[in-house]
Amino acid sequence: MSRIRVLLNCIVALAAFVATCAAIRRAVPMEVEEVTPKLAFFSARKDQFDTVFIGSSRVYHGVSPKIFDETTRAANRATHSFNLAVNGMMPPESVMMAWRVVQMRPKNLRRIFFEISDPRTVSMTKATKRDTYWHDLNALIFAARKFRHDFKSDRGAAFAELSTHMQLFARNRANLGRSTEIQEQWNGTATTKNSPKMLGPDMDGFLPEPHPMAEKDRVRLVNALDKMRTGDVPKREVNDVNHDALTRLGDGLARRGIAIVFFITPTTTRDYNAKIDAPVGAPVLAFDDPQEFPDFYRTDHRFDYDHLNPRGAEEFSRLLAQRAVEVLK
């Protein structure tokens, strides 16, 4: 057998393998705890929504689409929104979530509100299904750009992280480790940990947290606020990788006629002042200033040091909508 024929056979086999893996992935989507119920609900009703919120737990528990829509409707700028935020969802996962929403091609989507926060580093030794599902081609582009940036300062760490992203991409594309899950779903015997309750009482993706703040969180909040007010916080430089990913996302959405509004929740964490990562000229709604927005930092408006309770979420959702109306004019 000639070398050319051997090569062709290898190419055909590889193509068949890739096609089979893709078909399995479409027929039996990966079940990801916390993420799957939100994506499935949105996908089934994608053409009903014109506004989507994407971000971390600070958005998941802090932005009520019901209050947001009531406020925009009162201002004659009616919206129909959905909260797609998930606990712990930060870049690059949140960026990939935005791309995934676009790939669904919702007919009436007009705007995405995107929470800016520090990118999260993924470790292969602690990688989970949650770290795997979002690794697509856009994730590889992010990884390549991060590698080029990190290579200048720490070559070893840069290679290690790039390797992690490539392994997770391969695991996602080849459905590695999913044999039992696929068999259970195929047979109809799967028992998922995903609960419809994660969609919230109004089934709009917002889950309020009504429990009172613990004393340890109150102390942590007070200490964080003291540092923020006195300027005793680490100086945050622009994260070039995050900035580049958000710029590419904004440009991609603009080409599809979708506006993106970046926003910062009333946070006290290291994401403080993350707005500097936003693309140049992009609208940014920042609420991370305790002097300008003192009500959001009151202990009776939070259920812990960094998250709003239902009362705080209602006020924040209303103010976010009012500011959004001004920006989107």
Residue 78 buriedness (CB in 10 A; 0-12 / 13-18 / 19+): exposed
| Residue 261 three-state SS | strand
- Measured distance CA(223)–CA(82) in Å, rounded: 34
Which residues, in sequence order, are CB contacts of 70 under 8 Å at separation 6+?
none
- Measured distance CA(89)–CA(24) in Å, rounded: 26
pLDDT at 102: 95
pLDDT at 24: 44
pLDDT at 290: 92
Whether residue 306 contacts residue 59, with contact meaning beta carbons closer than 8 Å, is answered with no
- Measured distance CA(205)–CA(207) in Å, rounded: 6
pLDDT at 1: 57
What is the pLDDT tens value at each position of the chain, 329 positions in all? 566 665 555 455 444 444 454 444 454 566 788 899 999 999 999 999 999 999 999 999 999 999 999 999 999 999 999 999 999 999 999 999 999 999 999 999 999 999 999 888 777 777 788 889 889 988 998 899 888 888 888 888 888 888 999 999 888 887 665 555 554 555 555 555 556 788 999 999 999 999 899 999 999 999 999 988 887 777 788 889 999 999 999 999 999 999 999 999 999 887 778 889 999 989 999 999 999 999 999 999 999 999 999 999 999 999 999 999 998 87
Of 101, 162, 165, the closest CA to residue 127 belongs to 165
Which two tokens mark 304?
Answer: 């812990």
Helices (H), the chain: 3-27, 36-44, 57-60, 65-74, 93-103, 129-132, 137-150, 155-174, 179-187, 215-230, 240-255, 310-328
DSSP strand pairing (111-115 vs 51-54) = parallel
| Cβ atoms within 10 Å, residue 137 | 10
**Using one digit for the tens of pLDDT, what is the confidence trace for 27-42?**
456 678 889 999 999 9
pLDDT at 128: 82
Element (H, E) at 262: strand 259-264
pLDDT at 187: 53
pLDDT at 33: 84
pLDDT at 153: 86
Q: What pTM value is reported for the model?
A: 0.87
pLDDT at 235: 77
Residue 195: half-sphere exposure toward Cβ, Cα within 13 Å = 5
